[in-house]
């Protein structure tokens, strides 16, 4: 059982209770990555299955259903997510058997596959354990590959009675319009900077303000990034972005070729956003500690070149997980950026 909601989710929880009188068969929770959507929907799933739900809509935490849920073996609950995410949680000791991963030789998939959707068929076609609801939690919804999306769509078109789907997405534009049309959409808010900063300080994160800003104000993303050990690589990249040049780009590509590429591309996207924002309005969102360098770049970069660089970074983000050559990928990215800044 999740002990409590995050402070920034309290208002959303109250709004959600209004839906329980006429419960939709599928709710799609959406919002920025790293704000606690997965925790929120699992908290709601437990409340839907609880046999003695509290007046405020929270699960009681004491009934048999809550006991099964907290142990991860509730018969009327299923959670669907990518293998890679399951392995990450198992490694943290939160769920599953960490020993299983060491026995695997295949790289775990980052997709939700059609087999995972098909495996729900037996679950949805048998009676519920205590004549209540059955709940399926699925996240992130954009991880559904095309066959899995089509299989889920068929289920959402003809939902089994007594079944509620709770989905979470970081990016609605990556989902099929037909799936969007069959779900009740529910937005989850980004916390205020003060709320997020307070929470991070309670977690004991040093330099919390800097981490938070670099993750766009998403506190869970900031905490995860701080624990990933990638700060050194990010700082090396920022040095090149602040002082672009051919030689610096080639050296950085050589040093960073073994680092995860997706976070590096995301850092470039945030950096370019700041350059654009400084140029238009003088404001900085992600890297205020680099104001001097950002202002210098904004003063000399052509708007059309800047827009082209932003478009190129967005395109690279889509393929960063599977580059043919990490070193060549980084060289191309950083040389292209350096050219844009001339």
pLDDT in tens, 272-300: 999 999 999 999 999 999 999 999 999 99
pLDDT in tens, 2-41: 457 999 999 999 999 999 889 999 999 999 999 999 999 9
Question: CA angle 312-313-315, nearest 5°?
Answer: 65
Give mean pLDDT, residues 137-148. 95
Spatial contact of 270 and 277, defined as CB atoms under 8 Å apart: no
And the tokens for 342? 């001339």
Please give the mean pLDDT across all residues of the chain. 90
| Interstrand relation of 184-187 and 163-169 (parallel, antiparallel or unpaired) | unpaired
- The pLDDT-based confidence of 129 (bands split at 50, 70, 90) is confident
Quote the pLDDT of residue 334.
97
pLDDT in tens, 59-103: 999 999 999 999 999 999 999 999 988 766 544 444 433 333 334
pLDDT in tens, 315-324: 998 888 888 8
Quote the pLDDT of residue 10.
95
pTM: 0.83
φ, ψ of residue 113 to 5 degrees: the values are: -100, 165
Give mean pLDDT, residues 134-151. 95
Quote the pLDDT of residue 88.
60
Give mean pLDDT, residues 219-228. 90
Quote the pLDDT of residue 103.
41
Give mean pLDDT, residues 226-249. 90
Q: Sheet holding 163-169: strands in order across?
A: 77-80, 134-138, 163-169, 26-30, 184-187
DSSP at 215: T
**140 cis-preceded (ω within 30 degrees of 0):** yes
CA 31 to chain centre: 9
CA–CA dist 287, 271 (Å, integer): 7
CA–CA dist 93, 78 (Å, integer): 20
The count of other CB atoms within 10 Å of the CB of residue 126 is: 12
Class of residue 161 by CB neighbours under 10 A (exposed 0-12, middle 13-18, buried 19+) = exposed
Quote the pLDDT of residue 269.
96
User: Which ranges of the chain does DSSP label H, i.e. alpha helix?
Assistant: 10-17, 37-49, 64-71, 83-91, 98-102, 114-118, 120-124, 146-157, 177-181, 193-202, 208-214, 219-227, 231-242, 246-256, 261-281, 291-300, 303-319, 326-340
DSSP at 113: P
φ, ψ of residue 320 to 5 degrees: the values are: -65, -25
Quote the pLDDT of residue 198.
96
């Amino acid at each position: 059982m999740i002990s409590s909601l995050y402070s920034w989710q309290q208002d959303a929880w109250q709004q959600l209770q209004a839906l329980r009188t006429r419960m939709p068969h599928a709710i799609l929770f959406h919002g920025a990555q790293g704000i606690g959507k997965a925790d929120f929907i699992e908290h709601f799933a437990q409340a839907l299955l609880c046999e003695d739900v509290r007046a405020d809509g929270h699960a009681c935490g004491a009934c048999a259903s809550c006991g099964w849920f907290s142990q991860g073996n509730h018969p009327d609950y299923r959670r669907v997510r990518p293998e890679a995410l399951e392995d990450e949680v198992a490694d943290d000791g939160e769920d599953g058997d960490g020993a299983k991963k060491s026995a695997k030789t295949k790289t775990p998939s980052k997709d939700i596959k059609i087999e995972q959707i098909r495996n729900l068929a037996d679950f949805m076609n048998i009676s519920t354990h205590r004549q209540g609801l059955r709940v399926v939690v699925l996240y992130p919804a954009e991880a559904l590959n095309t066959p899995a999306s089509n299989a889920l769509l068929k289920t959402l078109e003809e939902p089994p009675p007594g079944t509620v789907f709770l989905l979470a997405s970081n990016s609605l534009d990556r989902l099929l319009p037909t799936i969007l049309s069959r779900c009740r959409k529910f937005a989850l808010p980004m916390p205020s900077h003060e709320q997020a900063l307070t929470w991070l300080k309670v977690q004991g994160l040093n330099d919390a303000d800097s981490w938070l800003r670099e993750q766009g104000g998403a506190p869970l993303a900031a905490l995860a990034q701080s624990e990933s050990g990638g700060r050194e690589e990010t700082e090396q990249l920022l040095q090149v972005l602040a002082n672009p040049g051919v030689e610096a780009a080639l050296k950085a590509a050589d040093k960073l070729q073994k680092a995860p590429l997706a976070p590096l591309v995301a850092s470039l996207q945030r950096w370019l956003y700041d350059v654009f924002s400084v140029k238009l309005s003088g404001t900085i969102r992600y890297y205020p500690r680099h104001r001097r360098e950002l202002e210098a770049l904004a003063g000399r970069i052509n708007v059309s070149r800047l827009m082209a660089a932003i478009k190129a970074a967005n395109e690279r983000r889509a393929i960063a997980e599977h580059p043919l050559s990490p070193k060549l990928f980084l060289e191309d990215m950083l040389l292209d950026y350096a050219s844009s800044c001339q």
